[in-house]
Amino acid sequence: MNFPCQVGVCLLLIQDGHILLMKRSGTGFGDGYWAVPGGRIEGKESVSRACRREAKEELGIEIAREDLKFATAIHSAPHEENMREVVLFIFKAEKWEGEIVNAEPNKCSEIGFFPLDDLPPSTMVSTKKFILNALNGTPFEEMFWHQEDPSS
């Protein structure tokens, strides 16, 4: 049985106890909320390559494969209208080449580094979960699934 499931990546850029967030705008999803960089995997592309591509496309930076560390994974149920089931691979990097810029101003109104323990109130729920899981070493989480069978 086929089902519409998207596979994507997110990037946690960490520097001196701060994390880079992007304020979404003009995308139709999460506009006005802070989120981490990321996007969908393109055909014939590994998850690590997709994450490095998104860093280049959204922030203008290069991340070497060895500087990209797996942090956590999320399997999210559709929880808003027109959403699909999503599997996300979240990576962390503390080293990169180039100056960070807002390379997609049509999708992001601003970028900034925020203390890991003091995120903006308008940070997306999923973004907070990614960060918390990465900091706590939680390798995997299922989000927005409503279990009907308490034994499952």
The domains of the chain, with CATH numbers, are 5-143 (3.90.79.10)
The yes-or-no verdict on residue 150 having pLDDT over 50 is: no
- Looking at residue 70, its pLDDT comes to 97
> Using CA atoms, how far apart are residues 60 and 53, in angstroms rounded to an integer?
10
- The structure tokens listed for 60 are 């203008």
Question: Global pTM?
Answer: 0.89
Mean of all residue pLDDT scores within the chain: 91
In this prediction, residue 81 has a pLDDT band, given cuts at 50, 70 and 90, of low
**Helices (H), ranges, 27-146:** 47-59, 125-136
pLDDT of 1 over the 80 cut: no
What does the chain come to in residues?
A: 152
